[in-house]
Structure 1
Amino acid sequence: MTPEMILTMIMLAFAVVLFVFEWVRVDVVGIIMMVLLPLTGLISPKEAFVGLSSNAVCSIIAVIIIGAGLDKTGVMNQVAGPIIKLAGNSESRVISLISGAVGVISSMMQNIGAAALFLPATQRIAKRMDIPVSRILMPMGFCAIIGGTLTLVGASPTILLNDLMTLGGEKLAPFGLFTQTPIGICLLVAAIVYFLLFGKYILPASTGETDRGVTAALMEEYKALGNTFELTVADGFTGPRTLQDLHIRSKFLVTVVAVHHAGEKRTNLTPRSNNDIQAGDEIAVVGKEKNVRKMAQELGWTLKAGLETFADSLARTSAGMAETVVSPRSELIGKTMNQINFKELYNLNPVALFKGNRIYYTGLSQIALAMGDTLLLHGPWERFHLLKNQPQPRVLTFATPLEGEILRPQKAKLAVFWLALSLLQIIAFKIQLSVALMSGALGMIITGVLSVDEAYRSVDWMTVFLLAGLIPLGMAFEKTGTAAFIATKVLGLLGQPAPIVLLAVVGIMTSCFTLVISNVGATVLLVPLCMNMAVMAGADPRMAALVVGLSASNTFVLPTHQVNALIMRPGGYRTVDYAKAGFVMTIIFLVVELSILYFFYGV
């Protein structure tokens, strides 16, 4: 080995140690590499920072912004809703549809985003069907990871491939957007079948731990509040009668927060006391269960097991509660909410009033407010944000954070248009990946789908700097001949393996590497090495690079992947659960991947 090769190996070992022991954040490791590599003379200063302007980094930034635009306009919620309804009450259908949908969606957006989108809905379905949430969340999470193998832009490792495929200073033919799609589809189907057949045996029967959020904490703090319930007004109900006539709040200590008028097919999220209630209407209320049951029994209404009609409009991501304080110089001071038409003005439901040392749950609209009084309000997050962002002087000051954000459903068609335009450029006009995707991201900003500040905030800059710092390390491996040297040694141990055997070794190496360092780091470090190994063994170096990119998503044995970490607490999983289910999934992944390459890609 030459001194340059030894130094390169030392740099690699140093990076791996930093990744494993996490003495610094992973993005700092990337920056360390950008600084140390030119200082040691392994690459030039210009080469050290070329990663920041690489096709891969720009593509990842653009994909994240496009995904944020789709989420901001509610497109992803519209995709999730019908799928959840189709799942019905069949556990196997729930697993198949949710896991398949998450897999397909993560082929075009960050897999962590796809998994996070379906997490609340999946927990709600599991509770409604009375099945352990652990039997749904892990299949969903694994399929979100595998979904990144469906297209070239589905995961960071495959986005990197075309930039990394350099041999002898020459670029190899790039992969297309759907080159790997047949492999990804087979992997996704295999994962779903695996969990359908063996999920009950390999997954724990855990209900998991749900993140309560601010609304749940407030309901616990205010003792008279229990939960949100949905009721159906009986067909025999003699109406119409107004909410004021029914005395629901004063008689049962229950607050009506939404009404779906069946006759008008209209949902009212800020019901007034003079609103009519008729047979067939759906009512959403907040209160203790025993009070709600008493009300249902006395009025002859039907109490549902969970939210159905209001499942989306009152979901945690759509609506909730916030604690507000009457501000100095507020127009509310000395007035009752009736006098200023509070509901009509702010479209929010008062649930409780903390005044002095007493909490009021009834008669709220008749009590004169004073500075410092605390109002507990319920309503859509969008209306809370509008209230919070009103110009000075503020009527109310928020004492608790807001969980939701203002969506822009009116921009949904524009978001879909820019995504479609980006894909059209890649598929039909062969425009470079980064240029096509960045044009879609720019289109979303220009047309107001996202503001430029929202676009900047959506980008995971930690991933960007990690990637930008590791690309030069891969270049050092190639430039100093270290990759070729290691390839020669590995081939010496293997002898003269058949191309498929070599690819199997490459897949196993990558799968092991990606358990202890990031999948991006594993890809950048292993692609140059494995391409050199393939050339020496007489195999196709492009296929070796593809195996590395795909196998970098084969990370199921430990909860180190972002998606696995996301579902760990909600699913009630332990590390041993990942090891148990992930070990078999890892083997299935490698077998399916190599089989498709052998039989359909001419390896």
Structure 2
Amino acid sequence: MTVDLALVLALLLAAVAMFALNRPRMDVVGLLMIVALPLTGVITAPEALAGFADPSIVLIAALFVIGEALVRTGVAQRLGDLLITRAGHNETRLIVLLMILVAGVGSVMSSTGVVAIFIPVVLRVARSAGIAPARLLMPLSVAALISGMMTLVATAPNLVVHAELRRHGLDGFGFFAFSPFGLPILALAIVYMLFARRLLAPGSGAEAGTTRRRRPRLAEWIEDYALEKREYRLRLPPGSPLAGQMLRALDLRATAGVNIIAIERGPRFGRRLIRPLAETVLEAGDVLMLDVFRPQVTIEDVTGLYGLERLPLTGRYFADRRQEIGLAEVMVPATSRLLGKTVVEARFRTTHDLAVIGLRHGRKAMAEDVLNRPLAAGDTLLVAGPWRAIRKIQEDLADLVVLALPVEVDDVLPAGNRAPFALGILALVIALMVGGVVPNVIAALIGCLLLGLFGCIDMTHAYRAIHWQSLVLIVGMLPFSLALQKTGGIALAADGFIALFGEAGPRLALAALFALTAGLGLFISNTATAVLMAPVALAIAGEMGLSPYPFAMTVALAASTAFMTPVSSPVNTLVVGPGNYRFMDFVKVGVPLSVLTLVAAVLLVPLVLPFSP
């Protein structure tokens, strides 16, 4: 082993360790590798930065925009309504149709985005049908992962493998090259989940599905999040020391441990809610809605210190004021910039114009110190504020995903009347890609421009839709392929692999390659796994004198086989909280399914992509 190879492998091991620990963020790890690799002298700075000009990176960014347009125009919501109409309350039919629908939608957009869109749909279906959400959310995540096996653009690992083939001077995969494998594996997974769902009940999430069979009411959230212990309405009498004071000067959050959610002002009849801004001056007669978030502070302390009069706060109050103040349950996804931050540190109120009044971590509602608890993926927040602010976070799935809105309000789509245009443009993009009329990246960019032209998405939301973390991660890991090639690392890995499995035949080699790729995906993202394993797969094929296509396809399929743990993929992480899943739920359902997928891939891949060069 040369010194250069040792340096590259040390950096690679460091990256894998940071991915496994999730510290720092994945995109930061990618940037670190872009900086560190040229310092070894193995590759140049332009070579390390070449990924930013890779057509696959631009294509992935464009697909994020197309997916966002499908959300804004209500295409996904209409599909959910169709699911409810067709399946009714039949659980078997729901699972079958849900998995087919999710896999179909996921074949043309990000699987993580698909899950974020369909979680609220599935929860609504589960409530209306009286089914435990856990029995539907696991099939949802499985179908979303399998959707990556459907088409070339379904998931980033497919495009990474495709790009690696092109870099070796080979023809890449066609748009539907993955479908002969994805469709049978989807059918197998549907049958498997119809039996495996029994492993998820009644322990996981059964309570949520059986205790509430309809959309929630505002009064129910008061009880669910223990708001009666923290939320209060207090009248400010003329003699209160708060009268005439500006909120900025009072700084009640820091000095008294309370957060003002809203202020009622005006005559008894015709009172209005005003937003509590830093420059707002309190007036005698105002009614303050307060959140007491500091555990050591009691409502008696607050009323006694400031001479306030306590008023009742019930679910009926929220219902009566529903036109002015809204509530929503939102979830923190795995891609959120809020992860690891407290509500205060994230400046949640300033950024989203919403107050966090409840926090649920897993199954447990936090009754104290809600604003100072670091947020984790899957946490559920109850937010209060103007409906326009709630609708705004419905449009942007990057940081928060709206799980449920109360019966007091109907969803409003920002571009609902543009759904036919979005579907037509999506069909055009697919036709251009399938027909090979223009390069895939140009087809996707044409679609983005048309979506903007017909009002399906604007530039602001288009830029927000792009998951920059994923793009930087891919760009940061791409130089490893070149560095390992220059130092002989890939040839060394291929020789070691052949020494172990070369004599056993090509099918066993495919099985070992699949297992290695899927196993590596337990610790790092499936995109990073594809970046590392694609050149190794091509080198193995070259050493064995076989066609590179079955080996490349095996890596792509294995990269999407991330069923085994809740941290194997952001897709799994998203459903943990809403489904009340435990770690072992994924193990006992995902491991057998991964083995079945391995067997199916080893049997199918050589039939469609022969070993002969």
What TM-score, normalized to structure 1? 0.71
Shift of 1:334: 5.1
Is the contact between residue 152 and residue 174 of structure 2 (CA under 8 Å) also seen in structure 1?
Answer: yes
Tell me, in whole angstroms, the C-alpha distance in 2 between the residues paired with 1:379 and 1:98. Answer: 35
Question: 1:136 is matched by which residue type in structure 2?
Answer: L
1:403 pairs, out of 390, 406, 409, with: 390
Shift of 1:562: 0.9
Question: 1:575 is matched by which residue type in structure 2?
Answer: F
Deviations 1:68-116 (A, max 9, x none): 0110011111122112211122211111111211111111111122222
Tell me, in whole angstroms, the C-alpha distance in 1 between the residues paired with 2:608 and 2:467. Answer: 36
Question: 1:199 is matched by which residue type in structure 2?
Answer: R
What TM-score, normalized to structure 2? 0.69
The answer on 1:377 being equivalent to 2:322 is yes
Is the contact between residue 507 and residue 547 of structure 1 (CA under 8 Å) also seen in structure 2?
Answer: yes
Deviations 1:379-433 (A, max 9, x none): 898xxxxxxxxxxxxxxx9763433245211222222222222112111234222
Question: 1:148 is matched by which residue type in structure 2?
Answer: G
Aligned pairs (5 A) from 1:139-538:
139-165=139-165, 170-201=168-199, 204-207=202-205, 219=219, 325=263, 333=266, 336-337=269-270, 357-358=310-311, 376-378=321-323, 400-401=384-385, 402-405=389-392, 406-538=413-545
Shift of 1:539: 1.8
Is the contact between residue 547 and residue 610 of structure 2 (CA under 8 Å) also seen in structure 1?
Answer: no
Evaluate the alpha carbon distance shift between residue 557 and residue 429 of structure 1 in structure 2; reply closer, same or farther with a 3 A threshold: closer
Question: 2:149 is matched by which residue type in structure 1?
Answer: T
Tell me, in whole angstroms, the C-alpha distance in 2 between the residues paired with 1:33 and 1:216. Answer: 47
Is the contact between residue 507 and residue 590 of structure 1 (CA under 8 Å) also seen in structure 2?
Answer: yes
Matched residue of 1:138: which SS?
Answer: helix
Evaluate the alpha carbon distance shift between residue 58 and residue 203 of structure 1 in structure 2; reply closer, same or farther with a 3 A threshold: farther
Question: 1:36 is matched by which residue type in structure 2?
Answer: A
Q: In the alignment, what sits opposite 1:32? A: 32
Q: In the alignment, what sits opposite 2:65? A: 65
Evaluate the alpha carbon distance shift between residue 573 and residue 480 of structure 1 in structure 2; reply closer, same or farther with a 3 A threshold: same
Question: 1:79 is matched by which residue type in structure 2?
Answer: L
Shift of 1:190: 0.6
Evaluate the alpha carbon distance shift between residue 363 and residue 83 of structure 1 in structure 2; reply closer, same or farther with a 3 A threshold: closer
Evaluate the alpha carbon distance shift between residue 354 and residue 549 of structure 1 in structure 2; reply closer, same or farther with a 3 A threshold: same
Q: Which moved more, 1:434-443 or 1:71-80?
A: 434-443
The answer on 1:544 being equivalent to 2:551 is yes
Evaluate the alpha carbon distance shift between residue 163 and residue 600 of structure 1 in structure 2; reply closer, same or farther with a 3 A threshold: closer
Evaluate the alpha carbon distance shift between residue 594 and residue 204 of structure 1 in structure 2; reply closer, same or farther with a 3 A threshold: farther
Evaluate the alpha carbon distance shift between residue 338 and residue 379 of structure 1 in structure 2; reply closer, same or farther with a 3 A threshold: closer
Is the contact between residue 218 and residue 315 of structure 2 (CA under 8 Å) also seen in structure 1?
Answer: no
1:587 pairs, out of 590, 595, 598, with: 595
Shift of 1:48: 0.8
Q: In the alignment, what sits opposite 1:76? A: 76
Q: In the alignment, what sits opposite 1:255? A: none
Q: Which moved more, 1:24-33 or 1:496-505?
A: 496-505
Evaluate the alpha carbon distance shift between residue 338 and residue 21 of structure 1 in structure 2; reply closer, same or farther with a 3 A threshold: closer
Q: In the alignment, what sits opposite 1:601? A: 609
Q: Which moved more, 1:87-96 or 1:196-205?
A: 196-205
Is the contact between residue 108 and residue 153 of structure 1 (CA under 8 Å) also seen in structure 2?
Answer: yes
Tell me, in whole angstroms, the C-alpha distance in 1 between the residues paired with 2:144 and 2:550. Answer: 24
Shift of 1:359: 5.4
Is the contact between residue 219 and residue 314 of structure 2 (CA under 8 Å) also seen in structure 1?
Answer: no
Evaluate the alpha carbon distance shift between residue 52 and residue 132 of structure 1 in structure 2; reply closer, same or farther with a 3 A threshold: same
Q: In the alignment, what sits opposite 2:360? A: none
Tell me, in whole angstroms, the C-alpha distance in 1 between the residues paired with 2:12 and 2:354. Answer: 50
Question: 2:124 is matched by which residue type in structure 1?
Answer: R
Question: 1:465 is matched by which residue type in structure 2?
Answer: V
Identity of aligned residues (%): 29
Q: In the alignment, what sits opposite 1:312? A: none
Tell me, in whole angstroms, the C-alpha distance in 2 between the residues paired with 1:601 and 1:362. Answer: 62
Matched residue of 2:205: which SS?
Answer: coil
Deviations 1:481-527 (A, max 9, x none): 21012111221222434222211111111000111000011000111
Tell me, in whole angstroms, the C-alpha distance in 2 between the residues paired with 1:496 and 1:144. Answer: 36
Is the contact between residue 149 and residue 179 of structure 2 (CA under 8 Å) also seen in structure 1?
Answer: yes
Tell me, in whole angstroms, the C-alpha distance in 2 between the residues paired with 1:102 and 1:500. Answer: 31
Is the contact between residue 219 and residue 316 of structure 2 (CA under 8 Å) also seen in structure 1?
Answer: no
Deviations 1:509-554 (A, max 9, x none): 1000111000011000111111101111122112211111111011
Shift of 1:120: 2.2
Is the contact between residue 324 and residue 375 of structure 1 (CA under 8 Å) also seen in structure 2?
Answer: no
Is the contact between residue 199 and residue 589 of structure 2 (CA under 8 Å) also seen in structure 1?
Answer: no
Q: Which moved more, 1:119-128 or 1:86-95?
A: 119-128
Evaluate the alpha carbon distance shift between residue 374 and residue 134 of structure 1 in structure 2; reply closer, same or farther with a 3 A threshold: closer
Q: Which moved more, 1:518-527 or 1:401-410?
A: 401-410
Shift of 1:375: 7.5
Matched residue of 1:193: which SS?
Answer: helix
Matched residue of 2:321: which SS?
Answer: strand
The alignment's C-alpha RMSD in Å is 3.3
Shift of 1:184: 0.5
Is the contact between residue 153 and residue 159 of structure 2 (CA under 8 Å) also seen in structure 1?
Answer: yes
Deviations 1:562-602 (A, max 9, x none): 11111112112111111111110110111111211133332
Evaluate the alpha carbon distance shift between residue 47 and residue 508 of structure 1 in structure 2; reply closer, same or farther with a 3 A threshold: same
Evaluate the alpha carbon distance shift between residue 69 and residue 221 of structure 1 in structure 2; reply closer, same or farther with a 3 A threshold: closer
Is the contact between residue 354 and residue 360 of structure 1 (CA under 8 Å) also seen in structure 2?
Answer: no
Tell me, in whole angstroms, the C-alpha distance in 1 between the residues paired with 2:416 and 2:104. Answer: 22
Matched residue of 1:377: which SS?
Answer: coil
Question: 1:80 is matched by which residue type in structure 2?
Answer: G
Runs of at least 5 residues in structure 2 that lack an aligned partner in the other structure: 227-260, 273-285, 289-308, 327-352, 356-383, 393-412
Tell me, in whole angstroms, the C-alpha distance in 1 between the residues paired with 2:536 and 2:217. Answer: 52
Deviations 1:447-477 (A, max 9, x none): 3321111111111111010011011111212
Q: In the alignment, what sits opposite 1:114? A: 114
Is the contact between residue 496 and residue 537 of structure 1 (CA under 8 Å) also seen in structure 2?
Answer: no
Tell me, in whole angstroms, the C-alpha distance in 2 between the residues paired with 1:24 and 1:208. Answer: 35
Q: In the alignment, what sits opposite 1:315? A: none
Q: Which moved more, 1:126-135 or 1:202-211?
A: 202-211
Is the contact between residue 62 and residue 441 of structure 1 (CA under 8 Å) also seen in structure 2?
Answer: yes
Evaluate the alpha carbon distance shift between residue 334 and residue 362 of structure 1 in structure 2; reply closer, same or farther with a 3 A threshold: farther
Q: Which moved more, 1:426-435 or 1:530-539?
A: 426-435
The answer on 1:44 being equivalent to 2:47 is no
Q: In the alignment, what sits opposite 1:240? A: none
Is the contact between residue 106 and residue 114 of structure 1 (CA under 8 Å) also seen in structure 2?
Answer: yes
Question: 1:487 is matched by which residue type in structure 2?
Answer: A
Tell me, in whole angstroms, the C-alpha distance in 2 between the residues paired with 1:362 and 1:540. Answer: 66
Q: Aligned residues, how many?
A: 463
Is the contact between residue 218 and residue 319 of structure 2 (CA under 8 Å) also seen in structure 1?
Answer: no
Evaluate the alpha carbon distance shift between residue 488 and residue 447 of structure 1 in structure 2; reply closer, same or farther with a 3 A threshold: same
Deviations 1:284-320 (A, max 9, x none): xxxxxxxxxxxxxxxxxxxxxxxxxxxxxxxxxxxxx
Tell me, in whole angstroms, the C-alpha distance in 2 between the residues paired with 1:3 and 1:578. Answer: 41
Q: In the alignment, what sits opposite 1:17? A: 17
